[in-house]
């Protein structure tokens, strides 16, 4: 242990602890900006400067490890003046159109400026001298360089957490910018649209592209029938933007709020998640049978999940040779969209051209997915608008709803019913767990051999998870798989995905089924989720999802009564011709530069 | 060796100032030549020595250095990246009369912060050049 003094208070910390962490242990607040719990140290904003006795200069507390006998002061005049100067310098380089900014009231630089109570600007405005670029090319987010303070959180996120490196630091000194490859528009570079950078940007330099106004227009258009679907991870995070603690489930209140906002029908993505399991589980079993029993060399194994649009775009760019390994199933959002304008329209007797399909997602990449040209199998754009969890919270505030005191409501019917298996789609390992619950039962006629259906090896926040399930006692139709060992692997966050892909490519791993989610923690850590999102908060959301699962009546996708009904009335059976038409898709090879 | 001995080696006629130690060093005015020792006991050297005669405008000299620092800053840390730009733009505005000459005092405070807050030696030493030129040749910067 290392002993030091901070503001004359003694504290003992482990070796390697930063001065910042030591101060936090004493509940001493040091402002930070470039520092983020999920990312490596940068120490470049200098907002967290503190005074160390005997040192020539001030030190950045986020980047300095505590050492024995250190004497730190966090609140001297020297420190305060330096911090004030630094925040002022940042403001002079930042286009401060705060009241009109999308991040208004939600900006870390704004809060810092508030702390220092600047009466007037002493330093000169530098923004007017520069030609800044506002990049609106991506369907998922907007990159406005004039609001960038070069903290490089986005750059670190993209390379460290996602190993995509779509953005990097270009030029030096006054000309430094956060730029893409050859300064190309973000729509034309290797970017997965995961939006991790958006979630970590402390200012309004990176924000999601918002479609709130278009959705309001649709709601108030008497000719339109607006259906909304909500993703599993939204219900455990929405509360955070509305005054709840992380990890509180607000499912019932959210459904009621959506009804109050004026959506004609409030439905659940969990329903189509259950449907995904039926389709994807069957696809896996068919692939296994063809490869293992019939010896068909053309079948690509391992099969990868295809629910995460960030992951899909990543593999299309980086590993196009593995596209045949991707499950052909659409993501639950797109399955829902395709069915809303076919099955739902038919059942409710509504002209599909009058239906506006909106989805509430924890994700910015879903905006891109909904815009893909392949996603028009209903004859219309399957999902018209994608809103993030944050955007929904904004709409609820705009409507002036007293969210905390809303009654709980239930999802509407036809495509509103779900099971616990659909709910856990929102966390890493969830798709795997849901698929195993159903696939194992199809093959053996028995429940998975884990207590209370909780498949522990696939749960948790570890970057690398594996599970092997031995298939024994098969029913007659699947006797061919008797004794086979199903090897599964799970990765979340694209840098973990890349590690897996390297293993698979090198032939070091022989898996049958790999679940990959583009964001750390799965959709609960998605980048449409409330800010801040970090490991601790994601873990709380994960707990909430699992408790939601355990509170469900049905916890296996094939028991969802509406899923049973849709196969009976409309789709015939999993992987039928009709479901291939509506629920499956194909992928395109994209450039790796 | 003092600055006076040093300039005499070069046949001093009308040397106005000596910049000891390259761009990031200190600028010594003629009136302090005799008392200034070149070395660690006085003004530390490093790299180059620059002599300016009376035909030189110290505003141009300062502008040139600040331009250099603005370009050469790597841009990582705030005090150096933005501080250099502020100092450069600040002296330009003072020269043009667009801000009051007392704005130089604000800039000196800023350069003091850069000295203790920048991440590396480059940003930390901008203040040496800035303060020693503005401090000794203030009227040349303003008028």
User: B73 and B134 share a domain?
Assistant: yes
Nearest C-alpha neighbor of A255 from the set A264, A246, A244, A267: A267
- Hey, are the CB atoms on B82 and A58 less than 8 Å from each other? no
User: B44 and B65 share a domain?
Assistant: no
**Domain endpoint, select from A379, A405, A431:** A405
Q: Where are the alpha helices (DSSP H) in A5-97?
A: 19-25, 77-92
Nearest C-alpha neighbor of A268 from the set A298, A297, A230: A230
For chain A, helix (H) and strand (E) counts, in that order, are 19, 18
pLDDT of amino acid A404: 94
Cβ neighbours of A45 in B, within 8 Å: 77-78
Nearest C-alpha neighbor of A425 from the set A286, A304, A331, A493: A331
- Hey, are the CB atoms on A85 and B109 less than 8 Å from each other? yes
Those of residues 86-105 in B touching chain A at CB distance below 8 A are 86, 89-90, 93, 99
Q: How far is A536 from chain B (nearest CA, A)?
A: 29
Cβ neighbours of A175 in B, within 8 Å: 75
What Cα–Cα distance (Å) separates residue B61 from each residue in A1, A550, B19, B88?
Answer: 52, 74, 10, 12
For chain B, helix (H) and strand (E) counts, in that order, are 6, 3
3-class secondary structure, A462: coil
Is B57 in contact with B26 (CB distance < 8 Å)? no
User: A525 and A437 share a domain?
Assistant: yes
Is A494 in contact with A162 (CB distance < 8 Å)? yes
pLDDT of amino acid A456: 87
Cα A56 to Cα A36: distance, rounded to the nearest angstrom: 27
Task: Find the residue in B nearest to A152 (Cα).
Answer: B76
Max Cα–Cα distance, chain B, nearest Å: 43
pLDDT of amino acid A364: 92
* In a domain? residue A307: yes
User: B35 and B75 share a domain?
Assistant: no
User: B83 and B102 share a domain?
Assistant: yes
Picking from B81, B109, B119, the nearest residue to A176 by CB comes out as: B81
* Catalytic site positions of A: 280, 283, 307, 327, 366, 369, 374, 523
Cβ neighbours of B70 in A, within 8 Å: 173-174
Q: Which residues contact A89 (CB under 8 A, 6 or more apart)?
A: A123, B78, B79, B82, B83, B86, B110
The residues with which B51 forms a beta bridge, in sequence order, are B18
CA atoms within 13 A on the CB side of A317: 21
User: A61 and A24 share a domain?
Assistant: yes
Those of residues 5-64 in B touching chain A at CB distance below 8 A are none
pLDDT of amino acid A476: 86
Is residue B113 within 8 angstroms of chain A, CB to CB?
A: yes
Peptide bond into A131 cis (omega under 30): no
User: B65 and B83 share a domain?
Assistant: yes
Q: How far is A494 from chain B (nearest CA, A)?
A: 26
This complex has an ipTM of 0.95
Cα A368 to Cα B98: distance, rounded to the nearest angstrom: 48
Parallel, antiparallel, or unpaired for β A167-170 and A225-230? unpaired
User: B22 and B74 share a domain?
Assistant: no
For residue A128, what is the domain's CATH number?
Answer: 3.30.70.20
What count of residues does chain B have? 143
| Residue span of the structural domain in which A197 resides | 123-208
Handedness of CA A198, A202, A207, A211 (dihedral sign): positive
Cβ neighbours of A92 in B, within 8 Å: 82, 86
Q: Domain total for chain B? A: 2
**Domain endpoint, select from A185, A208, A231:** A208
User: A241 and A379 share a domain?
Assistant: yes
Task: Find the residue in B nearest to A80 (Cα).
Answer: B113
Q: What letter would DSSP give residue A52? A: E
User: B29 and B14 share a domain?
Assistant: yes
Q: Which residues contact B99 (CB under 8 A, 6 or more apart)?
A: A124, B90, B93
Parallel, antiparallel, or unpaired for β A141-144 and A134-135? antiparallel
Instruction: Indicate the burial class of A99 (C-beta count within 10 angstroms; 0-12, 13-18, 19 or more).
Output: exposed
Is residue A50 within 8 angstroms of chain B, CB to CB?
A: no
Cβ neighbours of A47 in B, within 8 Å: 78
User: B76 and B130 share a domain?
Assistant: yes
Is B131 in contact with B111 (CB distance < 8 Å)? yes
CA atoms within 13 A on the CB side of A413: 6
Cα A532 to Cα A241: distance, rounded to the nearest angstrom: 10
Test mutation, A95, A170, A174, chain B, max B CBs within 10 A: A174
- Please count the other Cβ atoms lying within 10 Å of the Cβ belonging to residue A212: 15
User: B67 and B7 share a domain?
Assistant: no
Cβ neighbours of A90 in B, within 8 Å: 78, 82
User: A360 and A475 share a domain?
Assistant: no
For residue A549, what is the domain's CATH number?
Answer: 3.40.950.10
User: A399 and A512 share a domain?
Assistant: no
Is residue B70 within 8 angstroms of chain A, CB to CB?
A: yes
Q: Domain total for chain A? A: 4
* In a domain? residue A538: yes
Test mutation, B83, B86, B117, chain A, max A CBs within 10 A: B117
Is A43 in contact with A34 (CB distance < 8 Å)? yes
Is A562 in contact with A271 (CB distance < 8 Å)? yes
Nearest C-alpha neighbor of A196 from the set A238, A164, A233, A221: A164
Is residue A122 within 8 angstroms of chain B, CB to CB?
A: yes
User: B49 and B117 share a domain?
Assistant: no
* In a domain? residue A142: yes
The residues with which A329 forms a beta bridge, in sequence order, are A584
CA A128 to chain centre: 36
User: A318 and A434 share a domain?
Assistant: yes
- Hey, are the CB atoms on A46 and B82 less than 8 Å from each other? no
Is A362 in contact with A140 (CB distance < 8 Å)? no
User: A502 and A520 share a domain?
Assistant: yes
Cβ neighbours of B84 in A, within 8 Å: 173-174
Q: How far is B96 from chain A (nearest CA, A)?
A: 14
| Residue span of the structural domain in which B12 resides | 3-53
**Domain endpoint, select from A154, A185, A208:** A208
* In a domain? residue A34: yes
pLDDT of amino acid A430: 93
pLDDT of amino acid A136: 95
Instruction: Indicate the burial class of B58 (C-beta count within 10 angstroms; 0-12, 13-18, 19 or more).
Output: buried
pLDDT of amino acid A413: 85
Is residue A57 within 8 angstroms of chain B, CB to CB?
A: yes
Q: Which helix (H) or strand (E) holds A498?
A: helix A494-505
pLDDT of amino acid B22: 84
Cβ neighbours of B74 in A, within 8 Å: 172-173
User: A544 and A451 share a domain?
Assistant: yes
* In a domain? residue A413: no
Q: DSSP for B68-137?
A: HHHHH--S-SHHHHHHHHHHHHHHHHHHHTSS-TTHHHHHHHHHHHHHHHSSSHHHHHHHHHHHHHHHHS
The residues of chain A scoring below 50 in pLDDT are none
- Hey, are the CB atoms on A174 and B71 less than 8 Å from each other? yes
Cα B109 to Cα B115: distance, rounded to the nearest angstrom: 10
For residue B129, what is the domain's CATH number?
Answer: 1.20.1440.230
Cα A117 to Cα A522: distance, rounded to the nearest angstrom: 39
pLDDT of amino acid A115: 87
Cα A233 to Cα A239: distance, rounded to the nearest angstrom: 11
User: A391 and A282 share a domain?
Assistant: no
CA atoms within 13 A on the CB side of A141: 28
Parallel, antiparallel, or unpaired for β A71-73 and A134-135? unpaired
User: A149 and A297 share a domain?
Assistant: no
- Please count the other Cβ atoms lying within 10 Å of the Cβ belonging to residue A213: 9
For residue A253, what is the domain's CATH number?
Answer: 3.40.50.1780
The residues of chain B scoring below 70 in pLDDT are none
Cα A351 to Cα A334: distance, rounded to the nearest angstrom: 19
Cα A158 to Cα A154: distance, rounded to the nearest angstrom: 6
* In a domain? residue A448: yes
Residue B47 Ramachandran class (φ > 0 left, ψ -120 to 50 alpha, else beta)? left
pLDDT of amino acid A192: 94
Q: Where are the alpha helices (DSSP H) in A424-493?
A: 430-444
User: B65 and B48 share a domain?
Assistant: no
Is residue B119 within 8 angstroms of chain A, CB to CB?
A: yes
- Hey, are the CB atoms on A124 and B93 less than 8 Å from each other? yes
Q: For chains A and B, count residue pairs whose Cβ atoms are closer than 8 Å.
A: 97
* In a domain? residue A313: yes
Cα A530 to Cα A525: distance, rounded to the nearest angstrom: 9
* In a domain? residue A437: yes
Task: Find the residue in A nearest to B102 (Cα).
Answer: A122
User: A166 and A237 share a domain?
Assistant: no
Peptide bond into A302 cis (omega under 30): yes
pLDDT of amino acid A426: 92
User: B68 and B83 share a domain?
Assistant: yes
User: A434 and A390 share a domain?
Assistant: no
Is residue B74 within 8 angstroms of chain A, CB to CB?
A: yes
3-class secondary structure, B31: helix
């Amino acid at each position: 242990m290392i002993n030091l003094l901070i503001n004359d208070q003694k504290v003992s910390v482990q070796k390697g602890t930063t001065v910042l962490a030591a101060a936090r242990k004493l509940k001493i607040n040091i402002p930070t900006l470039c520092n983020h719990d999920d990312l490596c140290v940068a120490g470049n904003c200098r907002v967290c400067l503190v005074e160390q006795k005997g040192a020539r200069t001030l030190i950045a507390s986020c980047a300095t490890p505590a050492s024995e006998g250190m004497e730190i002061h966090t609140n001297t005049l020297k420190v305060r003046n330096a911090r004030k100067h630094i925040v002022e310098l940042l403001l002079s380089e930042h286009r401060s159109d705060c009241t009109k900014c999308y991040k208004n009231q939600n900006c870390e630089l704004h809060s810092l400026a508030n702390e220092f109570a600047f009466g007037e600007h002493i330093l000169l405005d530098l923004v007017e001298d520069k030609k800044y670029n506002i990049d609106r090319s991506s369907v998922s987010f907007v990159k406005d360089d004039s609001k960038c303070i070069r903290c490089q959180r986005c750059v670190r996120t993209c390379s460290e957490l996602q190993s995509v490196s779509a953005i990097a630091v270009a030029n030096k000194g006054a000309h430094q910018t956060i730029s893409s490859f050859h300064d190309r528009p973000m729509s034309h570079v290797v970017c997965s649209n995961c939006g991790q950078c958006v979630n970590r940007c402390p200012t309004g330099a990176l924000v999601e592209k918002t479609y709130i106004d278009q959705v309001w227009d649709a709601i108030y258009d008497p000719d339109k029938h607006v259906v909304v679907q909500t993703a599993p991870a939204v219900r455990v995070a929405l509360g955070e933007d509305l005054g709840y603690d992380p990890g509180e489930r607000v499912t019932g209140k959210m459904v009621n709020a959506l009804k109050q906002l004026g959506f004609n029908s409030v439905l659940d993505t969990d329903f189509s998640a259950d449907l995904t399991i039926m389709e994807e589980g069957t696809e896996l079993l068919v692939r296994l049978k063809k490869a293992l029993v019939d010896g068909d060399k053309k079948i690509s194994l391992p099969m990868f999940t295809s629910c995460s649009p960030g992951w899909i775009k990543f593999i299309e760019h980086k590993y196009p040779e593995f596209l045949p390994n991707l499950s052909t199933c659409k993501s639950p959002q797109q399955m829902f969209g395709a069915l809303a304008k076919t099955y739902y329209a038919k059942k409710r007797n509504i002209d599909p051209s009058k239906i506006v399909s909106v989805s509430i997602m924890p994700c910015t990449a879903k905006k891109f997915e909904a815009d893909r040209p392949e996603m028009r199998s209903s004859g219309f754009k399957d999902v018209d608008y994608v809103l993030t969890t944050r955007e929904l919270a904004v709409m609820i505030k705009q409507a002036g709803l007293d969210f905390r005191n809303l009654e709980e409501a239930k999802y509407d019917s036809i495509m509103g019913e779900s099971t616990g298996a659909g709910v856990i789609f929102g966390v890493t390992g969830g798709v795997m767990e849901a698929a195993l619950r159903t696939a194992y039962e199809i093959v053996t006629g028995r429940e998975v051999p884990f207590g209370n259906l909780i498949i522990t090896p696939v749960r948790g926040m570890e970057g690398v998870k594996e599970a092997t399930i031995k298939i024994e006692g098969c029913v007659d139709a699947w006797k061919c798989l008797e004794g086979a060992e199903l090897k599964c692997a799970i990765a979340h966050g694209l840098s973990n995905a890349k590690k897996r892909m390297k293993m698979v490519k090198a032939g070091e791993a022989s898996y049958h089924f790999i679940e990959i989610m583009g964001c750390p923690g799965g959709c609960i850590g998605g980048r449409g989720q409330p800010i801040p999102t970090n490991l601790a908060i994601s873990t709380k959301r994960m707990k909430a999802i699992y408790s939601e699962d355990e509170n469900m009546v049905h916890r296996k996708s094939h028991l969802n009564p509406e899923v049973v009904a849709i196969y009976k009335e409309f789709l015939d059976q999993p992987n039928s011709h009709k479901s291939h038409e509506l629920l499956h898709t194909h992928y395109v090879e994209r450039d790796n530069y | 060796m003092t600055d006076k001995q040093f300039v005499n080696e070069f046949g001093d006629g009308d040397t106005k100032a000596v910049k000891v130690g390259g761009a990031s060093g200190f600028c010594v005015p003629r009136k302090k030549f005799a008392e200034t020792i070149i070395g660690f006991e006085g003004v530390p050297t490093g790299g180059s020595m620059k002599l300016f005669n009376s035909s030189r405008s110290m505003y141009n000299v300062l502008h040139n250095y600040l331009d250099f620092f603005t370009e050469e800053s790597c841009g990582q840390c705030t005090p150096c990246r933005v501080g250099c730009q502020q100092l450069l733009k600040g002296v330009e505005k003072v020269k043009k009369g667009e801000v009051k000459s007392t704005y130089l005092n604000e800039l000196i405070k800023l350069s003091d912060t850069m000295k203790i807050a920048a991440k590396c030696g480059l940003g930390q030493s901008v203040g040496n050049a800035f303060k020693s030129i503005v401090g000794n040749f203030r009227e040349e910067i303003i008028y």
